[in-house]
């Protein structure tokens, strides 16, 4: 048989265990005639009589005796696959999770996340990789377990998402900068020398869009691919960086931050993962801790 009926394995297991067509039929809730037909199909599939009559009973052939233990093990393995997963044992769990996120997210939330994970599951290792773009292929193909970012029209609709926090852009300069004192106005802000953050290398951003209707245009002296780099440049110069407030809180320690004097829309940073990991117990546990470190006071076990 080129495509054997795997349901026959259940029938074979019952026949080999019971040594009787009638008892095997009763065990599987079949009629004796249906079981006899199934035995006929098994004989055809294996090219062996399997059970032969010896007086008033059926006895197994050598081939049947050879199959008894492998078939029994197959049935046990199949039953184990179909049972609910065992309760997660965090102390014994050994696994590496890959998270794709920005440098700023890692520096701001990474230490707390690692501390939480290590306290409950010392065998878990977190691997952080950079996020050069919003391509969902690594999530789809299993290269990435979790990702953080802003969900927009380019986000694959197949992905699962959940909001982590709302954020807004703020300005940041070194402590000795002239913008540390005095009232912040759009003209004063635009007159400075700025660092633009753009992974795609764009020459303008949302801040420039907000300044344009007011008749101002800022001078962009450097374009960088990440907020951590922008903050590092601003810390060592008189340049102005405009970065997410919550996303970069720890990175801006020792610097002067201020609300932007123009209206720039807030945005939501979300957690993204592929649906094949939705019910995975360890992945659910990790997602809960990621949400907890991004939302102080939230209990990991109370999130989905």
How far, in Å, CA of 46 to CA of 48, rounded? 5
Indicate whether 180 and 250 sit together in one domain: yes
Indicate whether 43 and 77 sit together in one domain: yes
Indicate whether 261 and 114 sit together in one domain: no
CATH classification at residue 40: 1.10.10.10
Indicate whether 113 and 132 sit together in one domain: yes
Instruction: Identify whether the C-beta of residue 15 lies closer than 8 Å to the C-beta of residue 24.
Output: yes
- The number of beta carbons lying within 10 Å of the beta carbon of residue 31 is 11
Structural domain count of the chain: 3
Instruction: Identify whether the C-beta of residue 100 lies closer than 8 Å to the C-beta of residue 147.
Output: yes
Instruction: Identify whether the C-beta of residue 205 lies closer than 8 Å to the C-beta of residue 197.
Output: yes
> Is this model's pTM higher than 0.75 or not?
no
> Residue 142 falls within a domain, yes or no?
yes
Pairing of strands 193-197, 240-244: parallel
Per residue in 199-211, pLDDT (tens digit) is 888 899 999 999 9
Indicate whether 161 and 293 sit together in one domain: yes
How far, in Å, CA of 124 to CA of 120, rounded? 9
Look up the domain containing 13 and give its range.
8-82
> Residue 90 falls within a domain, yes or no?
no
Per residue of the chain (304 residues), give pLDDT as tens.
Answer: 456 677 888 899 999 888 889 999 998 999 999 999 999 999 988 899 999 988 888 888 999 888 888 888 888 777 766 766 668 889 999 999 999 998 888 988 999 999 999 999 999 999 999 887 778 889 988 899 999 999 988 888 889 999 999 999 999 999 999 999 999 999 999 999 999 999 888 899 999 999 999 999 999 999 998 898 999 999 999 999 999 999 898 899 999 999 999 999 999 999 999 998 988 899 999 999 999 998 865 555 544 4
Instruction: Identify whether the C-beta of residue 104 lies closer than 8 Å to the C-beta of residue 227.
Output: yes
Indicate whether 143 and 177 sit together in one domain: no
DSSP string, 95-117: EEEEEE--HHHHHHHHHHHHHHH
Indicate whether 46 and 33 sit together in one domain: yes
Instruction: Identify whether the C-beta of residue 283 lies closer than 8 Å to the C-beta of residue 124.
Output: no
């Amino acid at each position: 048989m080129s495509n054997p009926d795997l349901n026959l394995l259940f029938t074979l297991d019952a026949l080999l265990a019971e040594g009787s067509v009638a008892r095997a039929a009763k065990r599987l809730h079949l009629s004796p005639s249906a079981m006899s037909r199934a035995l006929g199909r098994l004989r055809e599939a294996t090219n062996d009589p399997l059970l032969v009559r010896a007086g008033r009973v059926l006895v197994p052939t050598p081939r049947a005796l050879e199959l008894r233990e492998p078939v029994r093990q197959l049935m046990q393995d199949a039953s184990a696959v179909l049972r609910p997963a065992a309760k997660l044992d965090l102390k014994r769990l050994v696994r590496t999770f890959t998270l794709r996120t920005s440098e700023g997210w890692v520096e701001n939330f990474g230490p707390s996340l690692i501390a939480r994970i290590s306290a409950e599951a010392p065998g878990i290792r977190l691997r952080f990789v950079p996020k050069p773009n919003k391509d969902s292929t690594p999530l789809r193909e299993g290269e990435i377990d979790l990702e953080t970012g802003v969900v927009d029209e380019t986000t694959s609709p197949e992905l699962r998402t959940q909001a982590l926090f709302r954020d807004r852009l703020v300005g940041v300069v070194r402590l000795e900068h002239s913008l540390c004192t005095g009232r912040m106005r759009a003209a004063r802000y635009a007159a400075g020398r700025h660092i633009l953050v753009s992974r795609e290398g764009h020459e303008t951003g949302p801040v420039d869009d907000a300044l344009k209707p007011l008749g101002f245009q800022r001078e962009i002296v450097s374009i960088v691919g990440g907020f951590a780099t922008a903050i590092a440049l601003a810390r060592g110069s008189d340049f102005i960086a405009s970065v997410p407030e919550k996303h970069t809180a720890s990175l801006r320690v020792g610097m002067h931050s201020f609300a932007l004097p123009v209206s720039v829309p807030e945005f939501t940073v979300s957690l993204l993962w592929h649906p094949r990991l939705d019910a995975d117990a360890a992945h659910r546990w990790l997602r809960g801790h990621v949400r907890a470190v991004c939302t102080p006071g939230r209990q990991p076990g109370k999130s989905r």
